Amino acid sequence: MVGAAPSAAPPDVPRTRVALLLPLSGQQAALGQALQQAAELALFEKNDRRVEFIPLDTGGNAMGAGDAARRAVSLGAVSLVGPLTGGETAGAAPVAQAARLPVLAFTNDASQARQGVWTLGITPEQQMRRVIGLAMSSGARQFGMVAPDDAFGRALAQAMRQVAADFNLPSPAIALFNDRASAAGPVTEMSRRATSAIDAVVIGATGFRARELAAAVRAGAQENPRPLLLGHALWIADAGLANEPALHGALFPAPDERARSAFDGRFQQAFGQRAPRIAGVAHDAAVLAAGLAVAPAGTTPDAMPRFDGVDGPVQLRANGAVERSLGLFRVAPNGDAVLVEPPMPLGVGF
């Protein structure tokens, strides 16, 4: 195993322990193993024998994550890499904070971020800020959204409201729908809620549902060039979107795949399988934790320098926020995601 080399350090080399909180049993066990492999790959590449990773099973739930965090404390870990979900993070964070251990969680649930707890997943707000900023640069001001009434759809909707308020835009017209709704209903409801003509619509779905909604939005617009159709980062892996002509030219934010491809190749070579998307987040967290473990005493994660992660530049802030730079892509008729605007330097632009 690639990660075995650091563990083979001579006994006279003192090692600092970092706990990996992962779902190593239960329904997410296969994913947990891949996340462990990504972390091990980071440690192998860093080649610092002073750091030791200790995998601990969360069972994929909040109670198990809390137990794993207590185990990490008892083992003398200096930080926690993981856990995976927002619920698990909520279970582990109080234990870690009481012991003053930083948490580098994989979730994109920004509500879990706070001093001492960083959420490294690409958040809905980061995505909305990037794509709404682009649409604004072409004159859009009234935004709409149609999205499923699930955790992700509600998070996108809240992010759109926040970004619209930050940019002093009119209140966005948002329609959330259940699985039984037809495409026409949510699109009609969105239009009804708008205070003026909608300039751009975020489609918060993927696959067939995204294609169906895009067709309904375009049919309602008839021959008008507006509204612009916008998406989210999950579209980067959805080549089938191009099967709907209404989505040709639609724009969405996502990490620059050129930064991702090098990691994917290294993971494939090391473990003989394709890395799941979130493995890049685990790798980034492991890189941060390994560096923090050998930094001067008292160094906090937000004091670590910006680094180029699997999905592009990453910078941690003191309040638990994690800045990431996203590119902007266009859906091409052949199914490709065409980069139209590369990631901007952190702290620049919208």
**Residues 17, 104 share a domain:** yes
Same domain flag for 115 and 134: no
Closest CA to 102 of 87, 81, 88: 81
- Domain shared by 161 and 299, yes or no: no
Q: Are both 128 and 116 inside the same structural domain?
A: no
Q: In what side-by-side order are the strands of the sheet with 228-230?
A: 173-177, 143-148, 200-203, 228-230, 251-254, 327-331, 337-341
Task: Judge if 141 and 82 occupy the same domain.
Answer: no
194 vs 227: CA distance, rounded Å: 13
Please indicate, yes or no, if residue 335 is contained in any of the structural domains: yes
> In 10 A of CB 184, how many CB atoms?
15
pTM of the model: 0.84
Q: What is the pLDDT of residue 270?
A: 96
Tell me: do 213 and 296 sit in the same domain: no
Q: Residue 265 is part of a domain; what is its CATH number?
A: 3.40.50.2300
State the pLDDT at residue 95. Answer: 98
Query: In this structure, is residue 187 part of a structural domain?
Result: yes
Query: What's the total number of domains in the chain?
Result: 2
In a domain, 32, yes or no: yes
Provide the 10 A C-beta neighbour count for residue 4. 9
pLDDT value of residue 189 = 94
Give the model's pLDDT for residue 2.
46
Q: Is residue 349 part of a domain?
A: no
Task: Verify that 263 and 242 share a domain, yes or no.
Answer: no
Note whether 110 and 242 are same-domain residues: no
348 domain-assigned? no
Same domain, 113 and 71: yes
Q: Indicate whether 280 and 226 sit together in one domain.
A: no
Same-domain status, 65 and 80: yes
* 347 inside domain: no
Q: What domain range includes position 117?
A: 4-122+258-319
Contact 69, 95 (CB under 8 A): yes
Percent helix, strand and coil across the chain, each rounded to 5?
45, 20, 40
Q: Is residue 346 part of a domain?
A: no
Residue 248 sits in the same domain as residue 265: no
Residues of the chain with confidence (pLDDT) below 50: 1-9, 348-350
Residue 60 lies in a domain: yes
- For the four alpha carbons of 331, 333, 335 and 339, in that order, the dihedral sign comes to negative
